[in-house]
Amino acid sequence: MRKKIVAGNWKMNTTVAEGVELAKAVAARSSEVPASVKLIIAPPFTHLVPVGEAIKGTGIGLSAQNCADKEKGAYTGEVAADMLVSAGCGYTILGHSERRQYYGETDAKLVEKVKIATAHGLSPIFCVGENLDEREAGRHFEVVTEQVKNVLYTLSAEDMAKVIIAYEPVWAIGTGKTATAEQAQEIHACIRKVVADKFGDLAGEITILYGGSCKPSNAKELFACPDIDGGLIGGAALKADDFIAIALSF
Ligand code: PGA
């Protein structure tokens, strides 16, 4: 049975002190969430170590929001996969649409990142999703299929087994405009089929999260869909009670 996951992407929000407070508030309520649901939080790099301390012993997973496409060395401003592991991370978000859009991350770069992350034992939370123009042109299946193929088809089955996929339609991120459960389900089913075409039965074990204005009021309907295994939560992850309410929506 594949894992159910609710992951909080804090993006570039909170100071270290605020982040530790938020992590403590999530930790304090985490025992209300059934053991079948894994909670993960992804604070900014600067917060990883103290947030890791704050969630110690709770079972909440620690994730970064990005990692370098190089192992180590003269790459000013970058953070390497083994540094993330040494800071206590088990996961890293990769290929978020904000990274693709504002920082020029290409599929070619993401191939390197996904390879390095998995080689160091991190589980990538690999994001895919079409923008509004692509959706309106009816190209969403094609765009998402290409994103999955271009990056994840380069992995061995062993490394693919570590990957969590997040479908995040760009037009739904931070806009308050959520994909309907039907729109999300049909893309999730498509993603699972694309994974199955290369990796066979493993596709049934891969967790596929929905992201994009997911909140307590719509999580239940989304999570009831057969191919939606949880959520990657932005705005609503900055409030511990909303984040926990989403995790209680299965
Ligand atoms: P949102 O962000 O929940 O604020 O729409 C989701 C994400 O970008 O991961």
**pLDDT tens digits along 63-102:** 999 999 999 999 999 999 999 999 999 999 999 999 999 9
Rounded Cα distance between 228 and 82, Å, is 30
Of all protein residues, the one whose alpha carbon is nearest to atom 6 of ligand 1 is 234
The verdict on whether 96 is a catalytic residue reads yes
| Residue 110, pLDDT above cutoff 90 | yes
Average pLDDT of 102-125?
A: 98
User: Tokens at residue 181, please?
Assistant: 């459960």
Percent of the chain with pLDDT over 70: 100
Q: So what's the pLDDT on residue 1?
A: 79
Q: 96, 120, 140, 188: which one is catalytic?
A: 96
Distance separating alpha carbons of residues 51 and 62, to the nearest angstrom: 8
CA-closest residue to ligand 1 atom 3: 234
Q: In the chain, what are the domain boundaries?
A: 4-247
Q: Are 187 and 167 in contact (CB under 8 A)?
A: yes
Let me know: does 152 contact 132? Beta carbons within 8 Å.
no
Whether residue 57 has pLDDT greater than 90? yes
Taking a C-beta distance cutoff of 8 angstroms, is the pair 2, 161 a contact? no
28-31-34 Cα angle (round to 5): 145
Q: What is the pLDDT of residue 176?
A: 85
Query: What does the pLDDT look like over 204-221, one tens digit per residue?
Result: 999 999 999 999 999 999
Query: Which atom from ligand 1 is nearest to the alpha carbon of 212?
Result: 5
Indicate the fold that domain 4-247 takes in CATH.
TIM Barrel (3.20.20)
Question: Residues lining ligand 1, CB < 6 A?
Answer: 9, 168, 173-174, 211-214, 232-236
